[in-house]
Structure 1
């Protein structure tokens, strides 16, 4: 939600019109121009670079300890502003969740600045040595009509208190009283899960709010954007996150003490009547954070409280009488566990135009898994993977399967020997 939207139709109409106004084609500003960062942990901040040209794009992000004289917070430079020899680090690609986005009357670039703890430690060391502990985040853009540009954001060391942006460092969903608190539960119909909670580590302080949602068998799987916190997405993508059955909501003011536990909903609310795979999602909603709210044009602010540089974990459970379906695998000891298949469900019709994903439950002692797919009594796929999920390239399977097919999974030990095998399961590829 935009902070400036008034509850009148005229104001709303004006905002919509502004969204589609003519772009101003030059990086005109960055917001915020400077942020406080916690001095003993990773940090995450939502940053907006305003007014990009159509072909302009970001090519790198880095941190440096010192910038050239005359360059300050929010500066746009035509040459690299970093003083040689003061490079602290570069933004790892797996942390880069930036993207071009729609601003108010202009094309923007929304950036999730994830500062690794190694960079913060370097700045702390500079301060201990008597140097300036402030450091600088620099985004390099290319493709503009005036050549390359470097845009500077100042990072000021703080203690992680109320003046630091509210951001999530780590999130775990754990069961109460279990030897392995993160295990996937397999239940019979009508059974109940134990209680669970989210253990959250964070920076800053503020209102942490959100909801728990349930993905039932047959629902479309959440994608990466659906698992990000709302504050991690640009404004126009927030309403496009898939919505599932709401189990409960929460809203809690968190003090600057770095960790909090959010109790999950009553397990009685979790459906266990229909066989198949389920997922419980933790959805963190954006909250107002005056230390880090980002302007996207014409004074409009986007809420960024609760930003995170990673997708939220999910709690998975499977309903079905799988315990009685375990058979000894060929070549293994009698009584060995079978591999329990999850998706696709038996006789499910799969859209051939979309990627097909096969999933199964982890087997203790397995180092890898071999998946076999047969069609018309002919083996068409055999692939070995490390995890419990296999997704062939989109369209690859459709070119080889016509109609019905069978799939099975074999668990392998570290030497490549079978230790468990699933029953075959049928699916239909259509479209």
Structure 2
């Protein structure tokens, strides 16, 4: 952050911390995302100076993003916004700071703090315990309800059409409820629940909507955000790209997910991180429409592809024994296997094999670790020289170990093959 400060100081350009980083500090939360606001001239100067040493991600809305160390910094020129499009993307007009405040989503995000050495120490240094710091964060400009709403932890829109103009604010409000423990101001609650706001969400850019939801799901507390969105009926799916509708899934959401997942035991669940579990929860809600979330995130794509492959394998004359389960699941992630198991447990996949859940659990607990210790060289030493024979025998040994669920030493494996060597000679 010092790099930004030095550029602005040398050019005598005031730049302000604004939005979430100021809000989070006042709510005693740590932030690694910093929004900066600056006049249009300063924006151009700062952009030109920084792009000499950093890769800037620029947008058409007079903004750019930059990663500095562990921090993500978004810089925007002061501007006014008008919304003439249903996708939530604004038309902009450069303006003064006094006008810039009106484009913000909620009053709690309208605190402007001049960037100084002191404010950098407070915000970037993360002095969350004010008793340990002599620095005081000075708010240079804000909405008239800013301090009141911060103190009372209220979500308040700045004007009546806020949710209609940008329906992503519906999603963000729910995220703030979950992550910051906020409640709606009375009139904002009415606007949030209005048919106009919900209609605006259904007309919102589908790609942007998906990216926002996946970003939420990939947070460490993403499952709780997704659950809250589900309960508020803010999760969408679509049969065609032109007709999104609100979801109407038939389940008890998080309770069903958690109770089913708990059956696999703590040790196994520890192999799946919180973010992946949040994505699994999202896909669990969309169990009939998981393809809806494809092509938005590489890791999610891979997960969906594995889930789809397992489901397809179960439907094509599947033989339900340890070996065929092993072949189907080998190389698949624990997350994708758990997900398919959850679908079976909850009756979302119709199967002809009641023992399948037991076989899946056995694979997860034991047989997935099964491997052959003996090598081709070991087999050559006992008189098997042909490559094809070696491959067949190693595969037969693996199949035996999987079906019998046994552990064997190398000598035991060699003896097992030696006892059957005549079966594999031409």
Q: What is the TM-score when the length of structure 2 is the normalising length? A: 0.23
Q: How high is the TM-score relative to the length of structure 1?
A: 0.22
Higher strand share: 1
The structure with the largest helix share of the pair is 2
Which structure has the higher relative contact order (CA within 8 Å, separation 6+)? 1
